[in-house]
Amino acid sequence: MKKLKKLVVFLLSIKFIRKTYNAFSLFLARIGGLNRVTSVFYHWIGFLSFSREQYAVLTGRKSYYRNLDRRRKSRSELRRNTHRLEKGLLMRPRRKVFAKDYIEETIEFYEKAITQYKKNKEGVDQTELAWAQNVLNEYFAVVSNDDDKINKLRERFHAVDFEPGEVDKKPYKRGNPKSSIKYEDLLELSHQRRSVRWFKQKPVPRDLIDKALLVAEQSPSACNRLPYEFRIFDQPELVKKVSSIPFGSAGYRDNIPTIIVVVGKLENYFSPRDRHLVYVDSALAVMPFMYALETLGLASSSINWPDFEPLEAKMQKTLGLSPDERPIMLIAVGYADPEGMVAYSQKKSLEVLRTYNKIGQ
Ligand SMILES: Cc1cc2nc3c(=O)[nH]c(=O)nc-3n(C[C@H](O)[C@H](O)[C@H](O)COP(=O)(O)O)c2cc1C
């Protein structure tokens, strides 16, 4: 009788439920994970966890093509091709003729951008147009004039009536700049930065956020597209609303002064092969943003954004996101409460973290 009671208690226990769930998950993952075909079936049979992302990638692609003729503040296709031209210009040795396969479309992108800009300059990133103009100008100045196709495009470029007001937004010699920041300073800053979850109830000045963003945007991004937007909330009601959405802010969300949702924009890509870049590029921008905050006396904590349907739907509705805008992560920002505790967060030893010239497992 006692044994039976024990068995019933076990069967109803969390431990049993967890064990059964884990075993079942492993069983399905084993079958689904046999190869790529079985994994497609696995995801078909009710496991729709990626469907929002698939839809996002597809709508992003649709937006990319539709956007080509639309007025926009920033134009990813022009940014990408200007970047490609810059790479061609800095190659060693530089080829006499290069970019032949994409220079025509670049001129089309440029003409459209300038036409749209002239119709309505409101909010358009003029620095982007100046960069494109300067780089194209340099390209046509150095590329060989033996090629008919390029000569015609050169004429088309010079026929566009646009005065950028700047001439030096093009490849330049790096020289030997010497930063006054020593390795030890950076190491110290990296130790100072810990995820801070307890903040003083003091507003965060917007100019400090802007200063940190000026550092963040210097981060590398694939084809220099910066495919993200920092959506910053500092109105208490909105902070409360936004910070209540993710799971990871539980327990400390009520004392966050400013919260940022980093949103990745899949409209930047014509191909699904680039779908991960919103995550890579955003993460690369967020880290220096956090270091910059530290240098300005502020602190921060990342907040996880799981790909979990109910949260996704809530965030989409709250922020009014379009299907191709993907929340990447959230960042809580504020002045650290010196009495608040931070986790020790032991990092990994280098022996575990790194390998050199490793091939195989
Ligand atoms: C992508 C990402 C998601 C995170 N999500 C959360 C979160 O939801 N809640 C939280 O309190 N901390 C979160 N953190 C903070 C981590 O717990 C923290 O970075 C880690 O434990 C190391 O501590 P440190 O940042 O102080 O070095 C997240 C960090 C990253 C990079």
The pLDDT assigned to 15 comes to: 87
Q: Are residues 264 and 155 part of one domain?
A: no
Report the alpha-carbon distance of residue 269 to residue 264 in Å, rounded. 11
Nearest alpha-carbon partner for 301 in 189, 188, 197: 197
Walk across the sheet containing 228-233 and list its strands.
228-233, 258-265, 325-334, 299-303
Q: Which of 302, 315, 329, 347 to mutate to test the pocket of ligand 1 (most atoms within 8 A of CB)?
A: 302
Task: Check residues 39 and 289 and name the one with the higher pLDDT.
Answer: 289
Q: Which of 301, 326, 345, 348 to mutate to test the pocket of ligand 1 (most atoms within 8 A of CB)?
A: 301
Per-residue pLDDT of 322-343, as tens digits, reads: 999 999 999 999 999 999 999 9
pLDDT band at 46 (very low <50, low <70, confident <90, very high): low
Domain that holds residue 101: 53-159
pLDDT band at 141 (very low <50, low <70, confident <90, very high): very high
- Does 329 sit in the ligand 1 pocket, CB within 6 Å? yes
Q: Are residues 265 and 190 part of one domain?
A: yes
Ligand 1 centroid, distance to 297 Cα (angstroms): 20
Q: Are residues 293 and 218 part of one domain?
A: yes
Q: Are residues 259 and 135 part of one domain?
A: no
288: tokens are 């220096």
For range 169-195, the mean pLDDT:
97
The pLDDT assigned to 142 comes to: 97
From the DSSP assignment, how many helices (H) and strands (E) are in the chain? Answer: 14, 4
The pLDDT assigned to 131 comes to: 98
| pLDDT over 80 at 246, yes or no | yes
Ligand 1 centroid, distance to 24 Cα (angstroms): 30
228: tokens are 């993200």
Query: Per the domain annotation, does 26 fall within a domain?
Result: yes
Strands (E) located in the chain = 228-233, 258-265, 299-303, 325-334
* Count of domains forming the chain: 3
Look up the pTM and report it.
0.93
| pLDDT over 80 at 12, yes or no | no
Query: Per the domain annotation, does 275 fall within a domain?
Result: yes
Q: Are residues 102 and 215 part of one domain?
A: no
- Does 304 sit in the ligand 1 pocket, CB within 6 Å? yes
Report the alpha-carbon distance of residue 304 to residue 307 in Å, rounded. 10
The pLDDT assigned to 202 comes to: 97
Query: Per the domain annotation, does 165 fall within a domain?
Result: no
Q: Are residues 253 and 220 part of one domain?
A: yes
Count of Cβ atoms closer than 10 Å to residue 166 Cβ: 13
Nearest CA to ligand 1 atom 21: 345
- Residue 315: give its domain's CATH number: 3.40.109.10
| pLDDT over 90 at 276, yes or no | yes
Q: Are residues 263 and 218 part of one domain?
A: yes
Q: Are residues 31 and 69 part of one domain?
A: no
Q: List all residues 6 or more positions away from 49 whose beta carbon is below 8 Å from its beta carbon.
A: 43, 307, 309
Q: Are residues 214 and 327 part of one domain?
A: yes
Query: Per the domain annotation, does 174 fall within a domain?
Result: no
| pLDDT over 90 at 41, yes or no | no
The pLDDT assigned to 47 comes to: 58
Ligand 1 centroid, distance to 248 Cα (angstroms): 9
Q: Are residues 146 and 268 part of one domain?
A: no
